[in-house]
Amino acid sequence: MDYHPQKIDQKLLRAVVRANPPAKPSEIRDTAAGLLVRHETTGRASLFAIISRTKRKKLADVRAILDETTKVTLRQCQVEARKLQGKEAAGELEPTGKDQIPTLGEFLTGKGEGRAFSEAVRPIEAARLCSVFSGLVSRRLDEIVPLDLARWTKAKIAAGTKAGTLVRDARMLHSALARAVEWKVISANPLAGQIKRRAGKFRLADIVLEPLEDRVRYLTVDEEPRLRAALAERDDYIPTAVLVSMFTGLRQGELFALTWADIDFNAKTITVRPRNAKSGKVRHVPMNAEVIKLLSVRRGNDPEALVFTYMGHAIVSPKTAWRTLTRAAKIDGFRWHDLRHTFASRLAMAGVDLYVIKELMGHSSITVTEKYAHLQPHRHHEAVAKL
C-alpha cells in the first residue's frame, strides 16, 4: 500500500479519476481535513473519513462527488468527517459494532467500509476467494465458524476437488481472516487451529484429507511434436501463449497480465511485476530466440496494452481452448500449469543449478524447487567423482 500526504480538494479528486489504475492500492491522506482517498487497482476511488488510527468510514465514491447531478459534495464529506472524529473523541462511537463488521465479500474486495484484503494480495487472489467461498461471501466475518469450513470441505471433496487445492484455498481464507484480526476488524480468527498437518496428512476442521500429490508432469519428447502440430492449426493467441509459457515458466496469471512495457526486446527479458507475481516480488525472465520471434510478430505500439487478449478483452481463463488443444494433440493428464513444470524439468535435466531454477521460477523457497532434484541424479555422481 502506498501512502501520500496531500490536501484533498476538487482538483485532486479529478486527477485521481483521470489517472490510470495504480499497480497496487494507493491512499492519499489529508489529516488536516480528516479525509482519505483510496485508489484501487480496478480504478475505483473512494473517499473515507479518518476517525482514528485504526478506524475509517467510507463517505462516498469520488466519481459521485464530482458528479454535479448528485447531492454529495466534498464540503459535506468534510463536515461529516469532523462529526465522526468528534464523536470518537467523546466516546460516542462504539469500538466496532456488529453493523460495522463487513461481510466476507466486502472485506475481500473492498466494496465495504474500512480496509480490504485486496490491499495486501493480488486482486486476482481476492477474486478467487470470492469465487471459491461463494457460499460465505454474504456472511459477516464474525459469523463464520469452523463448521462452515467443514461443510465447505465435504462439498468440495464430493465434487472431486484435490487435497492440494483444498489446503491452498483454506490457507488463503485463513490468511484473509488473520489480516482482519491484525487490522482490528474482528477480534479473533474463527479458523485458528482448524488447518492441521499430522503424519503427512492434512486435516481441515477435523476432516482428514488424502495425502497431497507431489505432481511433476512435463511434456515428453513424444508429446511435444503433437502439441506443436495442434498449435499450428490455430490462428488465435493460444499458440504464442502456450510456447511462451513453456519456454519462460511463467504462471498463467503472470502471462496474461503482461503488457508490452514488460517486454524488453533489447535486454531479451520479460519483467513480472510485483502485483502479478505470486511472491509479490519483481522477477526478470530471459527470453530465448523462439520467444523473441513469437512476441515480435505480435508486438504492439501501446506499452500499456496487454500482450494477450481475446476479442479485445483480458483473458481470465483459457480452459475451453486448452481442453480443445490437448484433445487435438491427444495428450492426456496435462494441465496448463504443466507447461511451467516442463520449463523447470528441462532445465533440471540439462544440469542447471537448482538455485538458478528457483530464481527463474520465482519460488519463495528452494524447498519448492527441490521437487525437480530427482531429474538430475547425475549431479551426485559428478560430485563424488571429484573426490
Catalytic residue, chosen from 38, 122, 283, 363, is: 363
Catalytic residue, chosen from 156, 273, 283, 340, is: 340
Confirm whether 251 is a catalytic residue.
yes
Taking alpha carbons only, the member of 45, 56, 49, 57 closest to residue 12 is 45
Q: List b or e across 299-313, with b for residues whose CB sees 16 or more CB atoms inside 10 angstroms.
A: eeeeeeebbbeeeee
Catalytic residue, chosen from 234, 268, 275, 278, is: 278
- For residues 62 and 41, the answer to whether their CB atoms sit within 8 Å is no
Confirm whether 4 is a catalytic residue.
no
Q: How far apart are CA 229 and CA 330, in angstroms?
A: 11
Q: How far apart are CA 202 and CA 208, in angstroms?
A: 6
- For residues 281 and 362, the answer to whether their CB atoms sit within 8 Å is yes
Confirm whether 154 is a catalytic residue.
no
Q: How far apart are CA 185 and CA 117, in angstroms?
A: 11
Q: How far apart are CA 344 and CA 245, in angstroms?
A: 11
Confirm whether 340 is a catalytic residue.
yes
Catalytic residue, chosen from 251, 273, 341, 358, is: 251
Confirm whether 337 is a catalytic residue.
yes
Confirm whether 237 is a catalytic residue.
no
Alpha helices (H) along the chain:
10-18, 62-66, 74-89, 104-109, 123-132, 146-158, 163-182, 223-232, 238-248, 252-256, 289-298, 319-329, 337-349, 354-361, 366-369, 378-385
Catalytic residue, chosen from 337, 374, 378, 380, is: 337
- For residues 160 and 196, the answer to whether their CB atoms sit within 8 Å is no
Which residues are marked as active site?
Answer: 251, 278, 337, 340, 363, 372
